[in-house]
A and B are shown apart, each in its own frame.
Chain A
């Protein structure tokens, strides 16, 4: 069965012009290959600047990869604007992080939700109102809300409107770019559970992007960890959480705050800051901050590729050895 979404060796570079015309190259995404099936959630985790938001935009076709291809149901998008692509484009939708910026402040939310239906002429004019009411109902809002404006709603409600808007065109794949990061804890649970329900009902495939591992673990069957535009580890969620093979993954998980200190990995403190995406080192991107006991010159010179290690894929030369710092562990 063809994957709903497949990224093959995708690269994305930007060339922002500096003040004096010097142009730098920002390598935001470096050779990412992923695939996603229906009714599956792939979590994408990483810290700011790692390229996950860029990848989300590539995945839904908002931007074109510099190299590599993104396939939707086996077909690649051709040049933007081609009308035969419209059908393909609407199969992938995106939900944004910022509940305040993701809705046009001058449009009623009914119009916002209906926009996809109007653009693709999926529903005759007469039927729009009912369809919008149905969509709003699915996300837990009232039909009467359709005539109100975004500023009249809370952050959580706006996020739900954004989800309704994405659902309107009946996508097969939804990229959720940090959909709950800007929301309160109690509201996060509402949105996460809503997404879960919609997935079960409609067989949606999600690319769930977040910097919070705990939230991702709620929905994702598999998790990919991104660092400086590279996927450094990819595997089933339980395995990854219990026994991460890449040093960065382990450090990341150990830094996630948990209420119960007894049952978690020992804290690994990463020193320094990540290198800049304009100056990628030739070898492993993580080498300067790596604490793996086997780290050596090979890591500096040779860039590791994603390869099977246990139940997951990890991009580390020494992934077979558990990445534990040389100092002794607490029992």
Chain B
């Protein structure tokens, strides 16, 4: 049973003036198995952050999850949970870590206090037991005893993020959602945190959903990668296969635009145009206005989800025809 199984997730917001809705997340299907790290990669406007929020039903109003969406954690239907069930899920079975640790920690509470609060929300513990467990969790994420009673402003960015992770672990989650947890941090700290996530994954058998805009970052860490563009998943597959031979023109273009130290002489190539406005998705394949490989059906019909063998899929006409054949 998957740790997380999402099917046709659509998030909608009402249009400001006029009727109707627009869908910044428009039919996302993905799954994460226990002990696996799935990277969700996309640029701004791809809908990846809204997807994360939707998983725990934390969408900012007036956004809502549209009908036809299905989200299951360890088999349980998240959309059917009542308020209490949802509360237990959040921070319990599913832990979440956000991008900006400075904003996510309450400046008036110590590191230890944050973790203790998370612990007591999900377990019945005495104050002493909670504190002991908090110290243990913080140690597990690499925050020393001397920092347990420190306030957020006394901690570095990397340490703050570790505190967030410890708090997320308090409920013994089977799934950890990390939404760009390292974007605000230096590259060495980034590497340390990713190492930590890898260790936690191995030790606890936890599934991790890692959202990032940086393809290179997830290249050696994630088991599988899902690429999002304009509210949809355009490609998904095992990391090494995807990087070795990207199937979707967008993935290919992203790789061509990412500089690499291994090839400092390779001139990075921009993708012409810009990300489309969620209020006005292009017709047909959403990437077609910027795609170098576009041809006849691309601007009128949305491509289907074509399997490419070995758990790979791409949503692109290059890989299939109208009959759904690859």
Binding site for B on A (CB under 8 A): 47-48, 154, 156, 184-190, 192-193, 196, 211-215, 217-218, 237-238, 241, 251-253, 255-261, 263-264, 267, 269-270, 273
Contact = CB atoms under 8 A, between A and B. Distances in A.
Contact of A237 (B156, B189, B191, B264): B264
Nearest to A196: B267
Contacts of B217: 257
Interface in B146-195: 156-159, 186-192, 195
A257 B192 contact: no
Interface of B: 43-44, 156-159, 186-192, 195, 213-220, 243, 253-255, 257-262, 264, 267-271, 274-275
Contact of A186 (B159, B220, B253, B267): B253
Nearest to B159: A273
Nearest to A264: B262
The CB with the most chain A CB atoms within 10 A, among B215, B258, B275, is that of: B258
Contacts of A256: 187, 261
26 contacts: A47-B187, A47-B189, A185-B215, A185-B257, A186-B253, A188-B257, A192-B268, A193-B267, A196-B267, A211-B187, A213-B261, A214-B216, A214-B258, A215-B259, A217-B259, A217-B264, A238-B264, A241-B264, A255-B190, A257-B190, A257-B219, A258-B219, A259-B215, A259-B220, A269-B191, A270-B188
Contacts of B44: 184
A273 B274 CA distance: 38
Given A264-B261, A273-B156, A185 B214 contact: yes
Contact of B186 (A47, A185, A193, A261): A47
A217 B267 CA distance: 10
Contacts of A193: 267-268, 270
A258 B267 contact: no
A185 B43 contact: yes
Given A214-B260, A218-B264, A261-B219, A252 B254 contact: no
Contacts of B219: 257-261
B187 A258 contact: no
A184 B275 contact: yes
B155 to A, nearest CB: 9
A259 B258 contact: yes
Contacts of B158: 273
A256 B194 CA distance: 12
B261 A253 contact: yes
Given A190-B270, A218-B259, A269-B191, A257 B220 contact: yes
Nearest to B192: A269
Nearest to B218: A257
A76 B262 CA distance: 40
A252 B270 contact: no
A264 B191 CA distance: 14
Given A184-B43, A185-B214, A217 B188 contact: no
A192 B257 CA distance: 10
A186 B216 contact: no
Contacts of B258: 185, 214, 259
B187 A189 contact: no
B261 A154 contact: no
A193 B159 CA distance: 36
B187 A252 contact: yes
A186 B261 contact: no
Given A48-B186, A218-B267, A256-B187, A186 B257 contact: yes
Contacts of A264: 261-262
Given A48-B186, A211-B187, A273-B158, A189 B260 contact: no
